[in-house]
Structure 1
Amino acid sequence: MTADLFDSVADAQPWREEIADGAVLLRAFVRPIESELIAAVRAIVAQSPFRRMTTPGGHLMSVAMTNCGARGWITDHTGYRYDPIDPRTGAPWPAMPPVLRDLALRAAEQGGFTGFAPDACLVNRYTPGTRLSLHQDKDELDYAAPIVSVSLGLPANFLFGGMARSDKPRRFRLVHGDVVVWGGPNRLAYHGVAPLADGEHPLLGRQRINLTFRRTQ
C-alpha cells in the first residue's frame, strides 16, 4: 500500500482552509523545505531518541515521542509537565533548529498570530494503528499563543472538536507537508488523531512524524 497520489506530488501548491474561528489548515505549507525538516528531525532524534512515555494512570502511550527546544513535554506517574531536561539522557533537550523555529513563526503568521516564539516542539512518531485520543493542550501557561502542528510522512485523520470532550469532532485528512494552526477562541479545543492507516511514504516509510510547536510560559 502506498500513500495518496496527492501526497507524492512534490510540487503541490499551498492553499489555506479555515476550519474554525482562530483555526486554519495550511495545505502543502512545508513542501519547499521538507528535506531540511526531515534532516533536522533526524538530528534531534539522534540526540534524544524516541520513547513511549507512561501516563499518570500507568498507561503506556501508543505514540512515541521526543522534544526539542528550551522545554520538553513529558508524562510519568507524577503527572504531565514541561521540563528543560530529557529524563532519558539526563541532558537538556536538543536546541530547536532555526528551520523549525522559522517554520512555526511563518505558519502562525498565516493563521493570524504574529510574533509567535515557541519554546517547545513535541516530535511525535505514529506507526500504523497508533492514535491520539481527544484531549486539550492545557499544560502551557500562555494560552494567548497558538498551537502549530506540522504533518510529515503518512496521511492521518485529524480530529478537531469543541470545548467539551462530548462535542463531536470534525475530521480533516492531513498529508505530508500540511500544517494546522489554532488559537484564540479555539485554543483549548479538543483534538486528536484517528488510528493511523498502514502505508508507505516515499520519504519516511511506514510512519507519520508530527511536530507540535508551543509557547509554554
Structure 2
Amino acid sequence: MKCDLSLLERSIKRSFDIFFSFVGLVLTSWVIILCFLVAAIETKSNGFFAQHRVGKNGFIFKVIKVKTMKQRKTENTTVTTSHDMRITKSGKVFRKWKLDELPQLWNVLKGDMSFVGPRPDVPGYADQLEGEDRIILNIRPGITGPATIHYKNEEELLAAQDNPEQYNAKVIYPHKVQINKEYITNYSFIKDLYYIMKTLT
C-alpha cells in the first residue's frame, strides 16, 4: 500500500499551488476586498474570519476566510448547518458561491494549505487521529478534495439531523477520513486537476 506522496509528486503539487495561488490572488484581490468590506459592514467587525486549524504534521495554523457569520456568545459549536441563525445575508451568498474561501489562496501561497487535500479541521479532530488514519497529516490540507466534493451539501445534511454534532462526529467525519486516506494512497496529480475542475463547475 502506498503510504505517502513521492518527492516528485510533492514537488509538482507544491509548484502548482505556488503559481496558481499567486495568479489567483492577483486576479481575485478586488473580489476579496469587496467581500471583506461587505462582511465588515454587515457584522460590524473585521470582515475576515481567522481560525486555528490542524495542518501538515499536526502543525497549527490560522485559516483565513471572509466572515459569513455573526458571533453569538451563546453558541459554542464548530458545526454549521444551513439553518444556522448566525449566517448573515451576505454570508449566504458568499457561501453559495464559495467567495468566502478566496482568502485561503494566501494560505496556499504560504504553504499552510494546498488546492487539493483533506479539509483542515479544528483542533480536536485531525490531531486526534490514530494508527493508519494519521496518514492524512502527511500532506497539506486543501481548499477542496474528494471528501469536500462528496459532502458538498453537508450543511443541508446536518440541518436534517436531530443532533448535528453527533452525526458529524459519528458518521460524516469517519467517512471523510476513509475518503481522504484513499485519496492519499491512490494519489494522482491528474486527479487533483479533476477535483479542482469539479469544484469550479
TM category, shorter: 0.3 to 0.5
Q: Which structure has more helix as a fraction of its residues?
A: 2
Give the TM-score, by structure 2 length: 0.33
Q: Which structure has more strand as a fraction of its residues?
A: 1
From the CA coordinates, give the structure whose radius of gyration is larger: 2
